[in-house]
Amino acid sequence: MIDTIWQEFLSIVAQEAGTHVVHTWLNAVTLKQWDALENVIYLQAPNTFVCEWIKANYLPLFHTHLCRLLNVDSLRVHFTNQEATELVPTNKQIIPAVSLNKTSQTGPAQPIDVVPSVRKAATIRQKNFLNKNYSFQNFVVGPSNQLAYAAAVAVSEKPGKLYNPLFIYGGSGLGKTHLLHAIGNEIQVAHKRVEVLYVTADHFVNEFINAIRFDKVTQFKERYYALDILLIDDVQFISNKEQTQEAFFHIFNALYQAHKQIVFSSDSDPANINGLAERLRSRFEWGLVSDIQMPALETKVAILKRKAELAQQQIEDEVLYYIASRVISNIRELEGALIRITAYAQLVNLPITLELAKKLFQRHREVKEAVLDFQTVVNCLSRKYRYTLTDLRSQHRNKEISHVRQLAMYLMKKLTNKSLQEIGHYLARKDHTTVMHAIQRIQRDIATDTAFGLQVQEIEQELLNE
Ligand code: ADP
Ligand code: MG
């Protein structure tokens, strides 16, 4: 169970801090032990450098998310250093713990600079980077995702023939990555020799940059030309990367002309990806573009049932309904809630009942809501940017006001326990997808614009001090 929590933690960090943080640093760390009595988590890093870097840069992430996932108020993180504990002879290379291979959800593992032997291992080994757990069988179909699902199944049955490319878009945690892997898995099982590759656009960009750095662009491209099926996740990450887009354009054309299947996922439809070359945008639209939405209650319950079954957990329907009706914004959160409840029940050694579930959710709500409500967020932003609540609720779309509005949505999601729907409603938006996109936009801006990132950090700090 603690392993599941660790994986969940890594996927949250990948979303929040970027997949490179997980690839480069956290995948090198092994979770050794969780002391539920003393609230200490024991981690092992391959060497002092990794250990110190993580401590200096990512400790707050551990506190924020692991506390939530483990349902504790505080947590101590204890690092051991493999180099020191194992007394390895100095001429021996240290390979980070097993977790390097667990990255199939986000793409091939990035080499860790301080451990050269890993880089070698990662490049010699040809691998499709598919996660076998993501299959069509494990995907619960409902009205919100049935088109994307049907298209994905069709593509896996007749790759390169029906919809090429297939472009699936939707908010975070709604099953895009799952479908991409499912397509790959299905094809790979039926045709062992077909060359399939799953890669996140983020990784593609990094790989390309390295190829330039080491003068290996030709090899880089050739590797892609040799593929039969290319699955590119979160393609929005190539926006504003002109040189990468150029390289990708050629790869796309070569594969497309050879009738090789290409599948994309993205957080928005091609028309709404900013910083994308027009010729790529139009190619993304050549085949089938299908969206995926947040499922309604019944599908959420069905998903929880399936996940509980997979984890061999017996959970009453009323508990599943309770969880499904609480967790709104995405399926990843839904899974997170299930994991949290099962872990908690195991920890306190009680059966999973409605009462227990309520207690757990109540506790989270109190912790968070004691901190903040919508009005506090708006007041703080009004002081900073001089827009009133009425402005934020208006339909004015000039650049600045839109951005402050988006920032408000982001802060509300992050610092209160309210759903996307509630936030949208409060700010007079018609539906929650606006809120979802606003949050993604701000996350992206924080990642790309350091000054803005700092500004947001300051505001958050101010809010938390109120
Ligand atoms: P996205 O790529 O859209 O952000 P993911 O594919 O990573 O979302 O999905 C998040 C989690 O939710 C995954 O663990 C995935 O298995 C699960 N999930 C999403 N949709 C479904 C579904 N329809 N049935 C079962 N599990 C799902
Ligand atoms: Mg994804």
Walking along the chain (466 residues) 10 residues at a time, the average pLDDT comes out as: 80 78 83 78 82 81 80 80 52 31 38 29 54 94 96 97 96 93 96 94 91 93 96 93 95 97 95 93 96 92 93 91 83 85 83 89 54 82 91 90 95 80 86 87 92 90 78
Which residue's CA is the closest to the ligand 1 atom numbered 19? 175
Q: Tell me what pLDDT residue 84 has.
A: 60
**Nearest CA among 384, 366, 361 for reference residue 460:** 384
Q: Tell me what pLDDT residue 433 has.
A: 83
H and E: helices and strands count for the chain? 22, 8
The number of beta carbons lying within 10 Å of the beta carbon of residue 449 is: 12
Cis bond upstream, residue 165 (ω within 30): yes
User: What are the residues whose beta carbon lies below 5 Å from ligand 2 (ion)?
Assistant: 176-177
Backbone angles phi, psi at 197, to 5 degrees: -135, 130
Q: How far is CA 389 from CA 268, 381, 398, 412, 430, in A?
A: 28, 9, 16, 14, 17
Ligand 1 binding residues, C-beta < 6 A: 134, 138-140, 145, 172-178, 303, 306, 331-332, 335
Which residue's CA is the closest to the ligand 1 atom numbered 9? 175
Q: Which atom of ligand 1 is nearest to the CA of 334?
A: 12
Q: Tell me what pLDDT residue 111 has.
A: 31
Torsion angle of alpha carbons 233, 244, 21, 45, nearest 10°? Answer: 110
Report the alpha-carbon distance of residue 46 to residue 28 in Å, rounded. Answer: 7
Ligand located closest to 310 CA:
1
Q: Tell me what pLDDT residue 3 has.
A: 77
Ligand located closest to 332 CA:
1
Long-range contacts of 281-289 (CB under 8 A, 24+ apart): 283/165, 283/249, 283/252, 283/256, 284/165, 284/167, 284/235, 285/167, 286/164, 286/165, 286/256, 287/163, 287/164, 287/165, 287/166, 287/167, 288/151, 288/162, 288/163, 288/166, 288/167, 289/167, 289/169
SS3 state at 243: helix
Backbone angles phi, psi at 103, to 5 degrees: -95, 15
Ligand 1 centroid to 142 CA: how many Å?
Answer: 13
Q: Tell me what pLDDT residue 464 has.
A: 77
Tell me which of 179, 234, 332, 439 to substitute to probe ligand 1's pocket, judged by most ligand atoms within 8 Å of the beta carbon.
Answer: 332
Report the alpha-carbon distance of residue 278 to residue 154 in Å, rounded. Answer: 28
Ligand 2 centroid to 172 CA: how many Å?
Answer: 7
Ligand located closest to 335 CA:
1
Measured distance between the N- and C-terminal CA atoms of the chain, rounded to whole angstroms:
36
Ligand 2 centroid to 30 CA: how many Å?
Answer: 23
Ligand 2 centroid to 77 CA: how many Å?
Answer: 28
Angle in degrees, 0-180, between the axes of helices 331-348 and 317-326, rounded to the nearest 10: 130
Q: Tell me what pLDDT residue 364 has.
A: 57
Q: Tell me what pLDDT residue 425 has.
A: 85
229 with 157: CB under 8 angstroms? Answer: no
Ligand located closest to 300 CA:
1
